[in-house]
Homo-oligomer: A and B are copies of this chain.
Amino acid sequence: MSKKLEYFFDYVSPFSYLADSQVPGLVQRTGAELIYRPFFLGGVMQASGNSPPATVPAKGAYMGVDIARWLDRYGLEFKFNPNFPVMTVKPMRAALVALEQGVFPQFHQAMFKAMWREEKNIGDAEVLAEVLSSAGLDAPAILGRIGDDDVKEHLKANTAEAVERGAFGAPTFYVEGEMFFGNDRLDFLEAKLAS
């Protein structure tokens, strides 16, 4: 039986970038039905009362070491984006539009690559347009929709729903009502999907 896997993410989150590299394999091995749920991490942090790890200096320093270990394990490229924390309301709205327009896979790859391998400020509308065009996407078609009320409301609704369901960070996954938080719980997530 194929299980539904809801995947809440934000391009601003380095742990979403890490986890995202493993999601295809996990889906292939478990036959899960993957549902991408873009949300706005800033809104989740605010609503849950959580703070980014780096607000505690020792946590921030260790986070760099920890990310490096995961990159090594996964064999991934990464550059810490000097624009961090990028304001990702526009990219996350654009992700919803890309899903609607059937171009999500290319969009999704381009965003994580721009954010975590190419040091781009994807929160800037001009940079965002360039990133999409370079990836062969129709930037005006996507970005022309992100100011529309229904798209704005959709991102707000996804964010509020995740908070309602207990999220306090990214990435956050749900399977059959169970929540799995973080790149470092993919093993538990996979066990659940395989059960």
Instruction: List the interface of chain A (C-beta within 8 A of B).
Output: 48-50, 56-59, 61-62, 65-66, 69, 163, 166-168, 178-179, 181, 184-185, 188
What B residues does A181 contact at CB under 8 A?
A: 62, 66
A56 near B179 with CB under 8 A, answer no
B48 near A56 with CB under 8 A, answer yes
A62 near B168 with CB under 8 A, answer yes
Chain B residue with Cβ nearest A69: B188
Chain B residue with Cβ nearest A57: B49
A62 CB contact (under 8 Å) in B49, B58, B179: B179
Q: Chain copies in the assembly? A: 2
What B residues does A50 contact at CB under 8 A?
A: 56, 58-59
A58 near B178 with CB under 8 A, answer no
Chain B residue with Cβ nearest A178: B65
What B residues does A168 contact at CB under 8 A?
A: 56, 58-59, 62
What B residues does A163 contact at CB under 8 A?
A: 58
Taken together as a complex, chains A and B put the C-alpha atoms of A143 and B184 apart, in Å, by 40
Shortest Cβ-Cβ A-B pairs, 6 listed:
A58-B168, A48-B58, A50-B56, A49-B56, A58-B166, A59-B168
Chain B residue with Cβ nearest A65: B179
User: What distance in Å separates the Cβ of A157 from its nearest Cβ neighbour in chain B?
Assistant: 18
User: What distance in Å separates the Cβ of A159 from its nearest Cβ neighbour in chain B?
Assistant: 13
Instruction: Give 7 A-B pairs besides A50-B59, A56-B168, A62-B168 with Cβ atoms closer than 8 angstroms.
Output: A49-B56, A49-B57, A58-B163, A58-B167, A59-B168, A184-B184, A184-B185
